Amino acid sequence: MSKVRVPKIVGADVELSNFILGVSSGQGTGKTASRMLLGEIDGIESGVSGAAEALDVGRKYLPTSGGCAYIDSDHLEIALPETFSAFDHVAHWRAMLNVARAAMRRVNARLPDGCRLQVLANCSDGLGNSYGSHLNVLLTRTAWDEIMSTKPHYLAFLAAFQISSIVFTGQGKVGSEREGAPADFQLSQRADFMKTLVHIDTMVTRGVINSRDEAHCGPRRGLVQPELARLHVIFFDSTLCQIATVLRVGTMQMIVAMLEAGEVEARLTLDDPLGALGTWSRGPMLAATADLVGGERRTAVELQLEFLEAAGRFADRGGFDGIVPRARELLVLWDNTLRQLEARAFDTLSRRLDWVAKYRLLSGMLDRRPDLDWNSPVVKQLDQLYASIDDDGPFWALERARQVEQLVTEADIDRAEREPPSDTRAWTRAHLLRLAGDDRVARVQWDRVHVRTLSPHSPYARTRAVHLPVPYEATRADNGRFFLEGASLESVVEGLQAADRLPAALGPALHGSWTLSNGGKQ
């Protein structure tokens, strides 16, 4: 572990399917539905226009959690605040779904009889269209360059991990799309839409590895730090089961941490990654195998077990210390889930993995209804409705019946809806937005907030920028002392800007820390 490493802060930007039932429109109802939803979400408009926001409509940052919501390609998109722990990510994912659900209810209360707005947390409409559930992971610029440019076995290692992870990250879907090979049921909703191994595009020529280089972070002035980057992961499905979600996030944190440290086992890479993806996705009995580069054949579960073993060895050497919170818990959960997959223990797995829960739900319907098959419209409809965020959605019925394992409590989710994570820059962003309010926020982006401050010496407001360049800084521990009860916006901004100007010798002591090559902290 001779390389500089940084905490594996994660974020997510997730598109939701939205449409209005009972309304006939030749161009569909997504545009109207998404705008009605966003109109019901309380937030502060970003104030950013031009190329930086060219694909976004109406982006609003939330003073409650520090996340945001906007419209992308006529889908409501919800972006989670940055979290350090995968378990916190689960709570904030559920909290943002609650925000979208509340907006949906308010819209439906105003719609005329016979019309209803529907929102689904899935990644495929079954008609050839896919929309993303993107995960973002912080890493050093050096590691990003190695994955994307200089060390092809790093990219192949990451791709093999992602592709084989569909055994626990897939939501499952009926049929195939986009000229994919026929299938009754697939583990992954995104498999048919991955066209190449790596690409910058997220909408047409999608790559298993996305090469978008958009960091949303940077070095703080006066502080010697590694240059930061963001791995933009577009491969995964949306997951509703809490264990599936924590594994999707936590295992990705661990794999990226291993890549960053140079802990890459090239023997685990696939000879034909896209071919393996199509084969494994179409094998819900988990028996299908694919070639590794060395000629051996593995099922997806077998390959995942080898990734798990490599991660366990890395953990034993302290590789995740300070980098991936609760890594030991994640490893135990990963191991237990893979062992159950290896044993085909689907009764138990239906409580923790979405694709298994959906497959059992649909298979049960087919057993009870011999007049139906996998091509029946009612089966395809239930496939879609599984991910409805409405209370009558099948997933929520399973959860209410205690047929889904829980990792976070309703109290955790409620707190995440009202409060930002305390251990990332989202804490300062949210509290600054609260203090400034809509009238005094000029612009907001992930790494900076521009506010209008007043002066007793001038009748004019002055726009001042608070920079938040480091996702694991600007935490409550760093900046809580500025947001005292009764503090003015002017005093808070002055304090934050003064702290940002601290000399390098004082910076780390007051502004968080970053992990050095020896795994210690400065």
Domain with CATH 3.30.590 in the chain: 10-415
DSSP 3-state of 21: strand
Q: What average pLDDT does the structure give for the chain?
A: 93
Please answer whether residues 382 and 362 qualify as being in contact, where contact means their C-beta atoms are separated by less than 8 angstroms: yes
Mean pLDDT of 64-75: 96
**What Å distances lie between residue 460 and 432, 453, 491, CA to CA?**
21, 9, 17
Determine contact, residues 38/70, Cβ cutoff 8 Å. yes
CATH of domain 10-415: 3.30.590
CA 323 to chain centroid:
18
For residue 97, give the 3-state DSSP assignment: helix
Q: What is the DSSP string of 446-493?
A: TTEEEEEEEETTEEEEEEEEEE---TTSS-HHHHTTTS-TT--HHHHH
pLDDT category, 220, cuts 50, 70, 90?
A: low
Residues 6+ apart with CB under 8 A from 458: none
Catalytic residue among 13, 56, 72, 125: 72
């010496």: which residue's tokens?
Answer: 457
pLDDT for 56 equals 76
Q: How confident is the model at residue 522 (pLDDT cuts 50, 70, 90)?
A: very low
Segment 345-360 shows an average pLDDT of 98
pLDDT of 222 strictly over 60:
no
Rounded to whole angstroms, the Cα distance separating 232 from 139 reads: 11
- Distance spanning both ends of the chain, measured CA to CA: 16
pLDDT band at 211 (very low <50, low <70, confident <90, very high): very high
Contact status, residue 129 vs residue 171, Cβ threshold 8 Å: no
d(CA 436, CA 490): 9
Weakest-pLDDT range from 22-26, 235-239, 305-309, 371-375: 22-26
What's the DSSP call for residue 52? G
DSSP H or E stretch at residue 228 = strand 228-233
Whole-angstrom Cα distance, residue 478 to residue 500? 11
Measured CA to CA, the distance from residue 283 to residue 191 in angstroms comes to 12
Name the band, by pLDDT with cuts 50, 70 and 90, for residue 178: confident
55 pLDDT tier (thresholds 50, 70, 90): low
Tell me how far apart the alpha carbons of residues 33 and 76 are, in angstroms, rounded to a whole number: 8
Phi-psi region of 519 (alpha: psi -120 to 50; beta: other; left: phi over 0): left
Q: What is the pLDDT of residues 376-428, one digit of tens each?
A: 999 999 999 999 999 989 999 999 999 999 999 999 999 999 999 999 999 99
Give the pLDDT score at 520. Answer: 33
Ordered DSSP codes for 494-521: HHHHHHHT--TTTHHHHS---B-TTS-B
Helices first, then strands: H and E counts in the chain: 18, 17
187: CB partners within 8 A, 6+ apart: 166, 167, 170, 172, 280, 281, 283, 284, 355
Cβ atoms 385, 394 nearer than 8 A: yes
- In the DSSP assignment, the letter for residue 216 is S
User: What dihedral do alpha carbons 142, 148, 153, 154 form, nearest 10°?
Assistant: 50
Q: What is the pLDDT of residues 246-268, one digit of tens each?
A: 999 999 999 999 999 999 999 99
- Rounded Cα distance between 165 and 152, Å, is 20
Task: Identify whether the C-beta of residue 304 lies closer than 8 Å to the C-beta of residue 251.
Answer: no
Let me know if 500 is a catalytic residue.
no
| 372 confidence band (pLDDT: 50, 70, 90) | very high
Q: What is the per-residue pLDDT for 224?
A: 56
Is pTM beyond 0.85 here?
A: yes
Q: What does the pLDDT look like over 33-47, one tens digit per residue?
A: 999 999 999 999 998
Tell whether the model's pLDDT for residue 144 goes beyond 70.
Answer: yes
